[in-house]
Amino acid sequence: MDSRIPKKQTFSIGYFLMAMALLLLLQSIFATSARQISYSEFKNYLSGGSVASVLISDNLIRGELRAGTIEGSADATSFTTVPVNDPDLVEDLLQAGVDFRGRYENPFVQALLSWVLPAVLFVGIWLFAMRRMGANSGVMAFGKSKAKIYAEKETGVAFKDVAGEDEAKEELLEIVDFLKTPEKFRRLGGKLPRGVLLVGPPGTGKTLLAKAVAGEASVPFFSISGSEFVELFVGMGAARVRDLFAQAQSKAPCIVFIDELDALGKARGMGGMTGGHDEREHTLNQLLVEMDGFDTAKGVVILAATNRPEILDPALLRSGRFDRHVLVDRPDRRGREAILRIHSKAVKLSTDVDLAILAQRTPGLSGADLANVVNEAALLAARKDKRDVE
């Protein structure tokens, strides 16, 4: 029953918008169908006996010319003209025997037809588009965070799924330990670091490591890209930062992961606009305020990833914010072999394939590169109708 209500409302909004559009279209057609003439032409037609009838209002004179007045037209022709201060007009109409009337036009109705209805139509189309885009795209959702929320253990990733980054995993184990047993640290007066920055080249598994931390600790995981905070409308990015931290504190203990932090945390003064007042800098300032404001005792940990730490604002990297830096570098030979073994589990490998030799021949490749190597080998074997991957 509930699932039908939004659909019915959507149809009603659609019909309303169609009716408004049709009304404006008809108004435009009828408004432009009459011939527009100057006032001097109107006076000439009047003195020549060519005017059949006239309707006079404050801002417009509408009327009809007798049949055959306009060359090439055998029918009566409607016309409009703008009135001027002419005290002799009524006397001229009486002498010409023209049927004329006056009409009072309500200025409120004129204003309604001229700008209120188009404005209502525009807002209606906008609301209709927002409704079609989704429930979180409406008017009240502009300041809402776009973070993807994974419930406990739903990240589907644990440290056993991350290979080739043993040093990084060892450093992040402290975060997992605090989220699992915070009493051990609080008893001695220890505080969890507010932010941990994962630094490394693209494709080395920074996002995977963040999900693994949440999976190991069995806590909710908020994931959002730094570029999703910055919007065209001023203040929307800052509002999304506030909303994200409010959601995180309501779900504490949890992990907030900001990917591509450099898109948001670039050093102030390096943006495209001068003066330091662009939207990105407002959003960055709000992030700094929120990181200083939340209580680490609640168990909210901010993880962020970047491959360009040199362009980050120094205020982000000071103690009390992202003061822990974990290097997630390209794997060594043993790490590459472990990564290849993980990605080849779902692939039917030939007995002749030696992953240790393949790891030796792929120096400098990241985890994403190695996953792509395994996938391309499987596609090539399928293309050649092989029974297994050689």
Mean pLDDT computed over every residue of the chain: 78
5 within a domain of the structure (yes/no): no
pLDDT recorded at residue 387: 85
Higher pLDDT residue, 20 or 379? Answer: 379
Tell me, yes or no, whether 321 and 182 share the same domain: yes
CATH, residue 61: 3.30.720.210
- Domain co-membership, 95 together with 213: no
Check residue 235 and give its pLDDT.
Answer: 65
Asked if residue 85 and residue 163 are part of one domain, the reply reads: no
Residue 168 has pLDDT above 60, yes or no: yes
- pLDDT score for 120: 75
Same domain, 287 and 380: no
Looking at the fold, whether 178 and 36 belong to one and the same domain comes out as no
- 128 inside domain: no
Domain assignment present for residue 137? The answer is: no
Containing domain of residue 362, as a range? 333-384
User: For the chain, what is the domain count?
Assistant: 3
The answer to whether the pTM exceeds 0.75 is no
Together in a domain, 304 and 180: yes
Q: Output the domain CATH number for residue 255.
A: 3.40.50.300
**How far is 266 from 315, CA to CA, in rounded Å?**
10
- Could you tell me if 201 and 307 lie in one domain? yes
Q: Is the pLDDT of residue 49 over 80?
A: yes
Q: Which of 53, 317, 98, 88 is nearest to 199 (CA)?
A: 317
pLDDT at position 232? 53
Structural domain contains residue 38:
yes
Q: Quick: pLDDT tens for 185-221.
A: 778 777 777 889 999 999 888 989 988 888 888 888 8
Residue 255 has phi, psi (to 5 degrees) of -125, 130
Q: What are phi and psi of 325, to 5 degrees?
A: -115, 125
Residues 281 and 229 in one domain: yes
In a domain, 125, yes or no: no
* Among 290, 305, 327, residue at a domain's last position: 327
131 falls within a domain: no
Section 269-289 average pLDDT: 69
Q: CA of 216: how far to CAs of 134, 159, 212, 246, 262, in Å?
A: 33, 7, 6, 24, 27
Confidence of residue 141 (pLDDT cuts 50, 70, 90): very low
Q: How far is CA 138 from the centre of its chain?
A: 11
Q: What is the pLDDT of residue 6?
A: 43
CATH code of the domain in which 378 resides: 1.10.8.60
In terms of domains, do 177 and 52 share one?
no
Residues 193 and 173 in one domain: yes
Task: Read off the pLDDT of each residue in 150-158 and give the average, rounded to a whole number.
Answer: 68
- If asked whether residues 166 and 294 sit together in one domain, one would say yes
Same domain, 296 and 369: no
